[in-house]
Homo-oligomer: A and B are copies of this chain.
Amino acid sequence: MATRTDAPTRREQILKEAARLFAERGFHGVGVDEIGAAVGISGPGLYRHFAGKDAMLAELLVGISGQLLTGAKRRLAEADGAARPEAVLDSLIEGHIDFALDDRPLITLHDRELDRLRDSDRKLVRQLQRQYVELWVEVVREVHPGLAEPAARSAVHSVFGLLNSTPHLGRPGSLPGRAATAALLHRMARGAFAAASPAAG
């Protein structure tokens, strides 16, 4: 992946600030004037870049879901064939943790403001999310064959809850460091999956 070095476009600035504000105070809790102020322009100026407030949220949520799914598919393809299923699962976990630690506001939005979308956008996001979940379910069941499919699906959702708890972990600074936190979350996710099988215990 080529790392971005050029300056972010205005659209990107707006999306980033909007994500932060939406995560902090909720979609309805943030006014367009505030979003504008956050990027140095004033309210209606945003409409040169987006069709409306809803469009910003839609682009954010679709982007998140797509990014997660794309990354997961890539990791699956990279580790394809010879790799132990454990390694594939570790790669998925690692990817999700990176996302949860680096883009906390987006993680918050992801399961909080979905209902504010137009029907078509919401269906799209839901479909991307479902694909992402099913991809995890398959890998988890390869690593833990004793796990029935419904239980595996519940386990995946629960581990997402665990990994997405990063916004509650205090500001980055009270944490024991990013690497240590990532390692802790990784161990816990693996432990949770391992304990999900009724046989183990």
Contact = CB atoms under 8 A, between A and B. Distances in A.
| SS of A interface (majority) | helix
Contacts of A148: 176
A169 B190 contact: no
Contacts of A27: 26, 28-29
A155 interface: yes
Given A116-B29, A191-B191, A194-B191, A111 B168 contact: yes
Nearest to A151: B184
Interface of A: 24-29, 111-113, 115-116, 148, 150-151, 154-155, 157-165, 168-169, 174-176, 180-181, 183-185, 187-196, 198, 200-201
Nearest to A174: B150
Nearest to A159: B162
Q: Which 9 A-B pairs have the closest CB atoms?
A: A191-B195, A161-B165, A28-B28, A162-B162, A188-B192, A192-B192, A191-B191, A161-B161, A187-B195
B191 A169 contact: no
Contact of A162 (B25, B26, B29, B192): B192
Given A29-B116, A150-B175, A160-B168, 11 more contacts: A24-B115, A26-B26, A26-B27, A29-B115, A151-B184, A158-B162, A159-B162, A162-B192, A190-B195, A192-B192, A192-B195
A130 to B, nearest CB: 11
Nearest to A113: B26
